[in-house]
Structure formats: C-alpha cells, structure tokens
Amino acid sequence: MFMAWWLFWGAAQTVVLHRLNLGWKTSFIDSAVSTLLLAVISFSVMNLYRYYQPGKTNQLYRFIYWLGFSAVYCVALRWILSSIFKNDASYLDFLNRSMPIRFAFSLLITSFITILNWLLNFIAEQNQKENKQNEMEALMREAELSKLRQQLQPHFLFNSLNSISALVGSKPNEARKMVQQLSDFLRGTLKKDDQQLVTLKEELDHLNLYLEIEKVRFGHRLNIEINSSGESDICTLPSLLLQPIVENAIKFGLYDNTGDIIIRIDSKKENGNLIIEVQNPFDPQTVSASKGLGFGLNSVQRRLFLIYSRHDLLSTSKKETTFKTQLKIPQ
C-alpha cells in the first residue's frame, strides 16, 4: 500500500509538471527523483520514530526533526535535479521558483508522519498503562479475596476445635468422628482455594462436610433442608461462598433458641441468574438478631463485588421470626 501510494503520487506529479509546460521526459525525471527522495525521507522519519521516541519533556525534538528532514529533502532535491539539468536554464529557473512549494509539501508529509506517529505512540502508552492498571487491580482483588477466605476459615476452625475439646471427655467417639470430618472439610477447602468458580452441586457437596461437623456440635437441634433442581445444580458460583451464609444462619438460629430449628437452602435458575435463598428462624427480641449483617455476610457481599462489580447480589429480609438471605449469581 505504501509503494502504491508513492507510485500514484509520482504519476500525478508527472501530469501536473507537464501541464506547467515541461516536457514529458523532464516531468517524468523531476517527478521520479522528487518522489523517490521524498519516500526515502519519509521512510527515514518513520524509522527514526520507530527506534527513538522523544520524551514528554523533549517534544520540541519532533518539531526540529520535522524541519530538519524537510530541509534535507529540499537541499538534496535541488542538488540532484540541478546536476541532471545543469544545461537547461529554463528548467533551473522553474526549479528555483518551485522550491518554496516543494519545501511546503515536504513539511506537510513529514508533519503528517510526525503527528500520526505521536498519536499512535500516545495510544500505545495509554493501552499499556490501562493494561498495567487492570493487572494491578486484578492482583489486588485476588489478594483481598484470599484474605477474606483466610479470615473466615480460622473462625470456623476455632469453633470446631473447641467443640472437639468439649466432646473428648464425654463423647470420645463423636470427637473422633468430628476430627475426621474436620480433616475432610479442610482438605476440600485447600483444594478449592485456587478455583474461582464451581458448580452449585460441588459447592453443596462441600457444604455438607461443614454441616456434618455442625450436626455433631449441635446434635438433633440442627436440621437442614436443601432443595435444588437439576437446572440450578450446573450453575456456577464463587467457591466457598455458602459456608459463611449458612454459618450465619446457624448462629442466629441456634444461639438464640433452645429448641430445634430448621434451616432451608433453596436454589433455582431465574432470568439468567442463580438464585439461592437461605432461611433460618430467629428471635426478634434478641440483640444479635437486630444487628443485621455480621462479618460473614459482609465478607460475602465484598467477595461478590470484587468478582462481579455489583452491590445488589446479596440481600437480606426479615418476616416475623424468619430471617432470609438471598444470593443472585449472574450466569
């Protein structure tokens, strides 16, 4: 394309020079020399900017190069054409009178290359800055997500260890069973740390390990109902997202009640979203129930924002003695 443009310009210049009363041979030689020389100058300008880009404090250099290359072009062109047509006085007179126009045209070409190069370089720098910014933000999000997971696990681990300690003397078999369940749960947790998204079925399978441990802690008082369809089972969500929500439900449901409770986990796919609802009973007269979101739910909400950049994916509501947490995971 570059070569085709110069050939077109050379042919057009030949026609223009011929109409200015120059012979075809003279017009062709003039056009060929000036076009070839201008192409060499343009190529030199592009190569200069390819290997050297003036910094922000040296932008004046672009103007100097612009004028310098145009001056070199005019000096070289005049010397070459004067040598070829040294015995043609009328052409030499025409050449001298046309030099300002030739200089202006060379300025136009070199300035166009300079401005285009500056624009392309500016866009490349902006893209590079944007890519670096995106990489930095991604690393920061991953670091914060990792920190949130690490904050949640010790909380559950300490509770489980305290329960095991309480069971060792009175119910050693249950304590042994709880140790095994805790080991399986933590092993599964470590495997999931590097997974961003898992299916709902995988998440529920891992959640059941946690619930088995809690059932050993609370016995018959804790009852869990999980309702999920085949359509929602294959939907994806961030790994280890449900545990802090269910842990929150168990805390509000059991700690403020003396009887048995039922915690319901329902899931469905609706309007391109995975909808998960966790319901638990609570005593509206207790202080803990009136506090609203705790650390667990706040951590879940923060994780969802870091992954999906939305604040509306977790909501809570209270109706009489039922507390409901709803998740909306885009698919």
Rank 10-14, 31-35, 147-151, 288-292 by mean pLDDT and report only the highest: 31-35
Tell whether 109 and 198 lie within a shared domain: no
Tell whether 119 and 180 lie within a shared domain: no
Lowest mean pLDDT among 40-44, 143-147, 235-239, 321-325: 143-147
How does the average pLDDT of the chain come out, rounded?
A: 81
Is residue 151 included in any domain, yes or no?
no
Specify the pLDDT at position 298: 83
| 300-to-26, 191, 311, 326 alpha-carbon distances in Å | 81, 20, 11, 11
Mean pLDDT, residues 4-27 taken together: 78
Is residue 148 included in any domain, yes or no?
no
Question: What's the domain count of the chain?
Answer: 2
Specify the pLDDT at position 315: 92
- Strand runs labelled E in 201-254: 222-227, 236-238
pLDDT digits (tens, 9 = 90+) for 255-297: 767 778 899 999 999 888 999 999 998 877 764 444 545 667 8
Are the beta carbons of 133 and 66 closer than 8 angstroms? no
Domain final position from 107, 132, 157: 132
Are the beta carbons of 222 and 261 closer than 8 angstroms? yes
Examine the pLDDT at 2 and tell me if it is beyond 50. yes
Tell whether 175 and 61 lie within a shared domain: no
Mean pLDDT, residues 128-152 taken together: 71
Is residue 158 included in any domain, yes or no?
no
Specify the pLDDT at position 287: 47
Tell whether 229 and 325 lie within a shared domain: yes
How far apart are alpha carbons 106 and 100 in whole angstroms? 10
Are the beta carbons of 114 and 65 closer than 8 angstroms? yes
Tell whether 195 and 119 lie within a shared domain: no
| 191-to-181, 201, 211, 248, 291 alpha-carbon distances in Å | 16, 16, 18, 24, 34
The model's confidence at residue 192, banded by pLDDT at 50, 70 and 90, is low
Specify the pLDDT at position 263: 92
Specify the pLDDT at position 326: 95
Tell whether 15 and 113 lie within a shared domain: yes
Tell whether 181 and 91 lie within a shared domain: no
Specify the pLDDT at position 275: 95
Instruction: Tell me the β-bridge partners of 261.
Output: 222
208 alpha carbon, distance to own chain's centre = 34
Instruction: Provide the sign of the torsion angle of the four alpha carbons 116, 120, 126, 130, taken in this order.
Output: positive
Element (DSSP H or E) covering residue 4: helix 2-19
Tell whether 184 and 314 lie within a shared domain: yes
CB atoms within 10 A of CB 9: 16
Specify the pLDDT at position 290: 45
The model's confidence at residue 237, banded by pLDDT at 50, 70 and 90, is very high
Specify the pLDDT at position 215: 82
pLDDT digits (tens, 9 = 90+) for 297-331: 888 888 888 888 888 999 999 888 889 999 999 99
Q: ∠159-282-185 over CA atoms, to 5°?
A: 30
Are the beta carbons of 261 and 221 closer than 8 angstroms? yes
Are the beta carbons of 64 and 5 closer than 8 angstroms? no
Mean pLDDT, residues 210-215 taken together: 83
Domain final position from 132, 161, 185: 132
pLDDT digits (tens, 9 = 90+) for 17-75: 778 878 888 888 888 888 888 888 888 877 777 777 776 667 677 778 778 888 888 88
Specify the pLDDT at position 303: 84
262-292: b or e for each residue (b if 16 or more CB lie within 10 Å)? ebbbbbebeeeebbbbbbbbbbeeeeebeee
Q: Which tokens is 111 given? A: 């300035």
DSSP helix/strand/coil, 231: helix
Q: What is the DSSP letter of 289?
A: G
Tell whether 178 and 323 lie within a shared domain: yes
Examine the pLDDT at 140 and tell me if it is beyond 80. no
Examine the pLDDT at 187 and tell me if it is beyond 60. yes
Rank 5-9, 108-112, 137-141 by mean pLDDT and report only the highest: 108-112
Are the beta carbons of 237 and 269 closer than 8 angstroms? no
- Domain span at residue 18 reads 2-132
Tell whether 272 and 207 lie within a shared domain: yes
CATH number at residue 277: 3.30.565.10
Q: ∠302-303-308 over CA atoms, to 5°?
A: 100
As a whole-number percent, the residues of the chain with pLDDT over 70 amount to 86
